[in-house]
Amino acid sequence: MTPDRPTSHARAFLGVERSVTGRRWVSRLDEAEARNAVTIAQRHALPDIVSRVLAGRGIAPDDVPDFLDPALKRLLPDPSVLTGMDAAAARIADAVIAGEAMAVFGDYDVDGATSSALFARYMRAVGRDPAIYIPDRLFEGYGPNSDALRTLASAGIRLVVTVDCGSTSHHALADARSMGLDVVVIDHHQLGAELPAAVAVVNPNRQDDLSGLGHLAAVGVTFLTLVAVNRLLRDRGWFATRKEPELLQWLDLVALGTVCDVVPLVGLNRAFVSKGLMAMARRGNRGLAALADAARLGGPAAPYHLGFLLGPRINAGGRIGDAALGARLLASDDPAECEQLAAELDRLNRERQALETIMLEEAIAEADAEIGDGEGPSVLLTASDRWHAGVVGLIASRLKDRFHRPAIAIAFQPNGVGTGSGRSVSGVDLGHAIRRAVERGILVKGGGHAMAAGLTIEKPRLGELRAFLEESLRRAVSGSDEADGLAVDAALTAQGATLDLIELLDRAGPFGSGNAEPVFAFPVHQVSYAEENGNGHVRLTLRGAEGTTLKATAFRAGGTELGRALLASRGRAVHIAGTLSIDSWQGRRQPALRVIDMAETGG
């Protein structure tokens, strides 16, 4: 699949050399892909716009049927292709059969919560009830720690399965071994050649793994591990007297963790999310259903809803409340408990939003000062003694979206030690750079993957980190057109943005990292209505030349260049760029546009 970025040397789309957000609009398709689009349209009787979307993602004409139906049966590998899988599955199956007390130790983000809930749900289905342990973000930090493992050992736990963490926890897992604890690591984060003291480390990003599955989120690796465990239990006769669980029923959890961890939605990940969204629509997970209701999600969930409505609420517990709330909710079948936990996470999310608003204003001011009148640094690095460590990841994400370059936000404690989080743009491996900074002694610790990373740093090393990242990533950032370009799939009109077209486009999804959501330009459309609402979103009505109107929203655009430009364009015709979806508010389905950019008609 082709990258998510445009070809920088192509002619500007609609002649837009610089939009109001400072980006050049460029066609996503090169000449060869444009020819492929024609072939796809003719061979598969698809509309030209849908064919352009497929061709722009590198889909060959012969591969279109399989791409439009990402069958899990075809894409699911034998779990044993993962290094360490057979040893991990055997140890977990042994624990099930022997009735050993076990615990799942997860990260405090959505990937960790979904992985933990998935493991717990499977274990309950096969007759075991593992403890779930999620560390406190502020007091325990990321990953297993010796005190937590000692607590588990004293409670009689004999097997700990870490999910979305553990690959670099050398000291803690060495202590676990001395306590008599067996540990199985299930993870996906980048790591060096040295492995921790565990019975098995299942991580497609370990250096001796040849599975080619390094794009999986931890919840995807956890799912494959349970497939392997289930196969072993079946072979050992465990299901001779009990019902074998149907693993596919839990793909809703796999989809949620995969989308929220911003891993590439290609291959197996795409199938996980596609089938997981179908499972989610059945509302079989009481916790997820309660969370969707608390988030006022109307209609079937799309990846956007997972990433921007459900995920933030699960994360809110780990950011500013009880880190275990999300995992408990997703693992629960008690209606009253689910309703109570969902309401608590919704409340914490509102608190998080208020904190984020204050922090973001400070971070934007700092970033603006860094950039000044020029291009500024390739990597934005912002920090404060006043920030909440649980919200820095969101600040980094907002800065990345606003300034179109990698961004890191750090919250320093009174002792001068800072906890930071970073988000990257396509083509820039931030996780690798952070690991190199650890190896050089600039950071106390850190890690992650290409698009997201976490770190711990002492304040005196901040300038050194800034210089190191600039030196390490400047070339990659300059080569990433996400930094200054917007890839446009096709031009469209308000009249052409129909429900039928959007439903056809959805078959090319689910969209996300690695499978970019289609961006359409709406040339010379009048902004007949534009107002900012109380949430900082700018609501619009666009009117095409033929008189058809289209409802649109520029999310979180209030106070930005884009928001100000849209509000100033009332009654005028401008070029608008955005992504399409179906709004199912109160049961009424209608096309909706998410505005991401605007340009004057003169270019």
Per-residue pLDDT at 7? 47
Q: Three-state DSSP class for 417?
A: strand
Each residue's pLDDT tens digit, 153-202: 999 999 999 999 999 999 999 999 999 999 999 999 988 899 999 999 99
How far apart CA 383 and CA 303 sit, in angstroms, is 31
Give the pairing type, strands 452-458 and 445-449. Answer: antiparallel
What's the chain's average pLDDT? 93
Per-residue pLDDT at 513? 81
CB 356 within 8 A of CB 362: no
CA 589 to each of CA 101, 191, 289, 300, 582: distance values in angstroms, whole numbers, following the listed order: 49, 46, 20, 11, 6
How far apart CA 100 and CA 158 sit, in angstroms, is 6
How far apart CA 108 and CA 116 sit, in angstroms, is 10
> What value does the mean pLDDT take over residues 413-437?
93
More confident residue, 247 or 371: 247
Tokens of 569: 């364009």
Tokens of 174: 């060495």
How far apart CA 475 and CA 207 sit, in angstroms, is 25
Per-residue pLDDT at 376? 87
How far apart CA 28 and CA 415 sit, in angstroms, is 48
Where do the structural domains in the chain lie, given as residue ranges? 13-56+489-599, 74-347, 375-480
How far apart CA 420 and CA 435 sit, in angstroms, is 14
Select from 74, 80, 71 the least CA-distant residue to 224: 80
CATH code that applies to domain 375-480: 3.10.310.30
Per-residue pLDDT at 484? 64
Each residue's pLDDT tens digit, 216-229: 999 999 999 999 99
Per-residue pLDDT at 482? 59
pLDDT band at 535 (very low <50, low <70, confident <90, very high): confident
pLDDT band at 485 (very low <50, low <70, confident <90, very high): confident
Per-residue pLDDT at 299? 77
User: H helices of 165-321, where?
Assistant: 170-178, 218-235, 251-260, 267-281, 286-294, 303-305, 311-320
Q: What percent of the chain has pLDDT over 70?
A: 98
- Above 90 in pLDDT, residue 285? yes
Q: Does domain 13-56+489-599 have CATH number 2.40.50.460?
A: yes
Per-residue pLDDT at 186? 98
pLDDT band at 426 (very low <50, low <70, confident <90, very high): confident
Each residue's pLDDT tens digit, 435-475: 999 999 999 999 888 888 999 999 999 999 999 999 999 99
Tokens of 511: 């969209």
CB 377 within 8 A of CB 408: no
Per-residue pLDDT at 547? 94
Each residue's pLDDT tens digit, 242-260: 999 999 999 999 999 999 9
Per-residue pLDDT at 10? 63
Each residue's pLDDT tens digit, 315-344: 998 888 888 999 999 999 999 999 999 999
Asked if the domains at 74-347 and 375-480 fall in one CATH topology, the answer is no
Q: Does domain 74-347 have CATH number 3.90.180.10?
A: no
Each residue's pLDDT tens digit, 95-144: 999 999 999 999 989 999 999 999 999 999 999 999 999 998 878 888 89
Per-residue pLDDT at 199? 98
| 196 Ramachandran zone, left/alpha/beta (phi>0; psi -120 to 50) | beta
Q: With b meaning 16 or more CB within 10 Å and e meaning fewer, what string describes 330-349?
A: bbbeeeeebbebbebbbebb
- List the helix and strand counts (H, then E) for the chain: 21, 18
233-242, 372-381, 422-431, range with the lowest pLDDT: 372-381
CB 66 within 8 A of CB 75: no
CB 264 within 8 A of CB 213: no
- Above 80 in pLDDT, residue 537? yes
Q: What percent of the chain has pLDDT over 90?
A: 81
Per-residue pLDDT at 492? 96
Each residue's pLDDT tens digit, 36-53: 999 999 999 999 999 999
